[in-house]
Structure 1
Amino acid sequence: MRFSIITPNYNGGSFLEQAITNIISQVGDGIKLEYIIIDGGSTDCSHEIMARYSSKIAISIIEKDNGPANAINKGLALATGDVLAWLNADDLYYPGTLQRVRLAMECRPEAAICFGSCPIIDQQGKEIRQNISRFKEFFYPFSSRFTYQCINYLSQPALFFRRSAFAQAGPLREDMVAAWDYEFILRLWRCGNAVHVPDTPLAAFRWHEQSISGQNFRIQFQEEYEAARADAGRFSPQTFIHFFVRWGIVGIYSLMAWLKKRL
C-alpha cells in the first residue's frame, strides 16, 4: 500500500527534524511512502533541515501560502498514494502506525476513513490533558457519522483517508480559521465508513500556546457547530446536541485557561 503523508510547515524548525525522521521510519514491509513537505517560506532553520533529508522527501515546495489549509491542499493535489494523511511538524506517529493502518484498510475495503487514539503531548513530549483524550476515546465504540455530527471526537493526526474518498470530498475549506479539518472529515464520511484501529495510539498531538487550537478554541468550536449544522441539517437532533456540546466544551476550556492564569 502506498501512503502519501503531507507535512505543512512554517517556521517549525524546532520540531521538523523529529517529524521527518519519525515519518520516514514508518517504511517497512508492504508500506511505500510518498513524503511531501509544503513550506510557507520559513525564515528559521527549516530549509536546512529539509535539505539534509532531501533524498527521503518525494516532493518539497517552498513558497508563500495562505495558511495551513492552503498548504495541505497543495500537498493533497500532488499526492498519488492509495491512503493520504497530513501530519504537522510538531506532531508524531507511533512506531508501526502506517503498518497498522494498512492492515485495517485492507480488511475494510469499504472504509473511507481510518482512525485511532491520539494522546496530547506538551513541547517536551510528555502526555498532558489525559482526561480530554479519554473523553474522546469514550465515543469510539459508538463511532458513526451521526455521532461525529454531534461531537468532534476524532483527532486529526491519527486520521487517514483513501485518495478515492478525497477525490469525492474535495479540498479543505480555506475560508475557515480553525475547524477546516472537522468540516473536511464530515465530507469524507459521506464517501464511506470509518474503521477504528484499537489498542495503542496511532499519533500524538502536540498542544502549545501557539498551536491553532491553543489560540482559537472559541472560533474553532463555533465553526465546528456551523459545519455540523450544514452537514446534518439545521433542525436535526445532531445539530441540537452539538449546540449544547459546543458550549459545554468552550466552558471547560475557558475555565482551564482562567485557572492557568491564576497559578
Structure 2
Amino acid sequence: PGLEATINSVINQSYKNFEFIVIDGGSQDGTKELLESYSSQIDYWISEPDKGIYNAMNKGIEKATGKYLIFMNSGDRFSNFEILSKIAPAFGDEDIIYGNAYYELEDRKKYEYRIPSRITIGSLLKEPICHQSAFFKKDLFLKYGMYDEGNKIASDWTFMMDLFVRHNISQKYINEFISIFEKTGISSTNTDLSFSEQKRYLDENVSQQVQNMAKHFDEYAQFYNGKPGTMLRNFKNKIYSLIYGKRNYDRKYVD
C-alpha cells in the first residue's frame, strides 16, 4: 500500500483529537512531494537524511506534544476508520495501552496477530507486541531514554524489555485489532539481524538462567489464571532477585 495508504488511514479516522507527525529520511521516490500534497492535514512533517529508523522515531518523539505515542511505518495503517473512536474511551492513565493487529504477506491477505492480554518477560521472549498497535506514554521516553540508535531493527523490542523487566510500568490490553502491518519489512525479513541484536541485549542484560526461567513464566501465569498466588509470586521474585539482587519487585498490571 505504501505511505499514502498510511496517511489516509490516519486522516480519515472519525476520532480527530490527535497529532499527526511524519518523519521521512530524505527519500528520493516522490515522498516529499506526496507529503507536500497532504501538508494541510499533517501537523508536522520533515524529509531529510537520517541515521536509520530509530533516529527517525526519536525525532518524532521529540516533536510530539501528546500524552501517548503510536508508531507506524510506511504501508502500515489502522484497521479501519473507526478504531480510534472505538478504543479512546478505554484509555486511562496506563503507561502502555496495546491491542491486536493484522499482518499482511505478499499475497495481501490479512492474518491475525493476537497479543497476550498480559505482557510478561516470557511473552516478550517468545513474541513481541506490535508497536503499530501499542500506545506508549511519551513520559516513558523522557524517564527511561529514547530508542537505541545503535540497533538497526530491534530497538523497539529492547526498549519494551527494559520497560517490563527494569521498570514498574502499568499496562492495559484492549481486545481489538488496532492496526494492519506489512510483514515484508526489514524486521520481519531480516530475522538473522533481529536475532543477533536481541541476543546481544539479552547477553548484556539478562542471564541465561533468567532467560530459561522466563520462558516458562507464562505457563505459571496461565495455571494460576493471572492471580498472584504464592508460588507465582515467589517465581516472579526469584526472577527479579536473580537480575537485581532484591525481592518483592512486583509488576503493576491494569485490567
Taking structure 2 as the reference length, what is the TM-score of the superposition? 0.74
Offset of residue 63 of structure 1: 0.8
For 1:52, the equivalent position in structure 2 comes to: 37
In 1, the alpha carbon distance for the partners of 2:106 and 2:208 equals: 41
User: Which of these residues, 141, 151, 173, is aligned with residue 176 of structure 1?
Assistant: 151
Offset of residue 178 of structure 1: 1.6
For 1:195, the equivalent position in structure 2 comes to: 172
In 2, the alpha carbon distance for the partners of 1:47 and 1:123 equals: 26
Equivalenced residues, count: 212
In 2, the alpha carbon distance for the partners of 1:197 and 1:229 equals: 32
Alignment of 1:1-263 (within 5 A): 15-28=2-15, 31-95=16-80, 96-106=82-92, 109=93, 111-123=94-106, 125-128=108-111, 133=113, 137=114, 140-141=116-117, 143-189=118-164, 190=167, 192-198=169-175, 200-208=176-184, 211-231=185-205, 233-239=206-212
Taking structure 1 as the reference length, what is the TM-score of the superposition? 0.72
Residue 105 of structure 1 aligns with an amino acid whose one-letter code is: F
What SS class does the counterpart of residue 182 from structure 1 fall into? helix
Offset of residue 230 of structure 1: 4.4
Q: How far does the alpha carbon of each residue in 1:139-183 deviate from its partner, in whole angstroms, 9 at most, with x for none?
A: 614x23333443233112111111122211211111112211101
User: Percent identity at matched positions?
Assistant: 25
Offset of residue 228 of structure 1: 4.0
CA RMSD of the aligned region, Å?
2.2
In 2, the alpha carbon distance for the partners of 1:99 and 1:164 equals: 23
Offset of residue 23 of structure 1: 0.8
Structure whose residues are more often helix by fraction: 1
Offset of residue 241 of structure 1: 5.3
List gaps (5 residues or longer) in structure 2: 216-255
Contact 1:23-1:93 within 8 A present in 2 as well: yes
Offset of residue 17 of structure 1: 1.1
In 2, the alpha carbon distance for the partners of 1:183 and 1:34 equals: 26
Contact 2:122-2:214 within 8 A present in 1 as well: no
List gaps (5 residues or longer) in structure 1: 1-13, 243-263
Contact 1:85-1:159 within 8 A present in 2 as well: yes
In our comparison, the structure showing a higher alpha carbon Rg is 2
